[in-house]
Amino acid sequence: MDSGKLSRRELLKKLALAGAGTGLLAGAGSLTKRWTSTTEAAVSAHEAMYYEKLSGQRVKCYVCPNECVVGPGGRGVCGNKVNRNGKYYTLVYGRAAALNVDPIEKKPLFHFLPRSWALSVGTAGCSFSCKHCQNWEISQRLPAQLEQEGHVLSVPPNRLVSKAQSHNISVIAYTYNEPISFYEYMYDTAKLAHQKGLKSVMISNGYINREPMIEVCKYLDAVKIDLKGFSEEFYSGYCSGRLEPVLQTIKRVIALGKWLELVYLVIPTVNDDPEMIRQAAEWVKRAGGPDVPLHFSRFTPAYKLKNLPPTPYDTLRQCRRIAREAGLNYVYIGNVPGTEAASTYCPSCGKIVVKRNSFEVLGSHLKPNGACKFCGHKIPGVWA
């Protein structure tokens, strides 16, 4: 197997995106890099897409199924859009609350350009309010809070794309908080990146309406969707959302021919019932066939669910077994270092074709076209 490791010097070079220090905001869970603080009023607001003007200076947003009706001075559920005198504005356009270079495997995308690096950006706000949110420090806070604390960097689309180009980073990832909540920023950046020959990936909860999804997919190359559970009760009780729109988005991404991977965060006693797991896996196979990658990710206590323990490894293995019995070929276990279930196995000959340890690719037995070097079976994905 060929080595997938980067030297420390190469890694630091990848991280050197700006003139001061690493030039990056710290990760979504560790906001430590300080930038010049601005108040929200000083931030240049950008008019939102997909909204309707109503009587009494009210507006109705159509980006996501929340379809918020917002009066003058009010905000939508995402917290980062405001009605100013009957016009709807996003307050996070070009305002990065998290900016990093990540391996694509961290998204996680295991069948999309292995070993590539992604310039990853997030802002304040989210269309959900998940009790178990891992990135609540930015997703569940208002833009003004992060601005005043100095946790925001001005990175408009043209600057984001030029940073990726100048450092030979081929992918831009919209991630950390919910990119649907910063739709305008994602859309303009992805469109420009597409024109410049760069790839774009959306790391999302999938809670988006039909027309906005079809439009942004013109410029996306891959989508990762969190299938957070498989019941309406779970979505309403733990995420303040609904399951059905997410299922529709998954089917839409498949129909549009975009590469798709799914993640199911397994929360003990909450969404780990074997029958729920079986129903989810069987639905995925019906909707997208046996080759849609499904990642079962380990929960760690966070935000409002700190009272629950981390997911037992035996539970994750059981989930993987159930999904494979349901007919899915590519089922992974995430957030568990050293597990063999992070590697890709050829469903034809059973041999490892991409060996991983967590997010690190240790070696590959794939031909350039994605075929298994041992038996020639084509492994679905975007490999080059």
CA distances from 111 to 104, 144, 214, 362 (A): 10, 38, 22, 15
* 124 part of a folded domain: no
- Reported as a single tens digit per residue, the pLDDT across 126-143 is 999 999 999 999 999 999
Average pLDDT of the segment spanning 292-303: 97
In 3D space, the residue among 51, 134, 133 whose CA is nearest the CA of residue 89 turns out to be 51
**81 and 160 both lie in a single domain:** no
For residue 219, pLDDT beyond 80: yes
Average pLDDT of the segment spanning 286-296: 98
**218 and 298 both lie in a single domain:** yes
Q: Residue 122: pLDDT band by 50, 70, 90 thresholds?
A: very high
List the domain range (segments joined by +) for residue 68: 40-90
Cα dihedral angle (350, 351, 354, 355), rounded to 10 degrees? 110
For residue 14, pLDDT beyond 70: no
Q: Which residue has the tokens 């007919």?
A: 327
* Residue-level pLDDT at 21: 28
* 372 part of a folded domain: no
Residue 265 sits in a domain whose CATH number is: 3.20.20.70
**80 and 165 both lie in a single domain:** no
Q: What percent of the chain has pLDDT over 90?
A: 87
* 97 part of a folded domain: no
- Helix, strand, coil percentages, rounded to 5, for the chain: 30, 20, 50
**62 and 203 both lie in a single domain:** no
**163 and 287 both lie in a single domain:** yes
**51 and 192 both lie in a single domain:** no
- Residues 311, 266: Cα–Cα separation, whole Å: 7
- Give 81's strand partners: 90
For residue 1, pLDDT beyond 60: no
**197 and 328 both lie in a single domain:** yes
Total structural domains in the chain? 2
Q: Residue 110: pLDDT band by 50, 70, 90 thresholds?
A: very high
DSSP state of 337: T
**70 and 113 both lie in a single domain:** no
Q: Residue 151: pLDDT band by 50, 70, 90 thresholds?
A: confident
Average pLDDT of the segment spanning 28-39: 33
* 289 part of a folded domain: yes
**71 and 113 both lie in a single domain:** no
- How much is the CA Rg of the chain, to the nearest whole Å? 20
**162 and 50 both lie in a single domain:** no
Q: Residue 365: pLDDT band by 50, 70, 90 thresholds?
A: very high
- Residues 193, 199: Cα–Cα separation, whole Å: 7
Assessment of whether the complete model's pTM goes beyond 0.85: yes
* 379 part of a folded domain: no
**168 and 282 both lie in a single domain:** yes
In 3D space, the residue among 169, 222, 181, 173 whose CA is nearest the CA of residue 205 turns out to be 181
Q: Residue 43: pLDDT band by 50, 70, 90 thresholds?
A: low
* Average pLDDT along the chain: 90
**277 and 300 both lie in a single domain:** yes
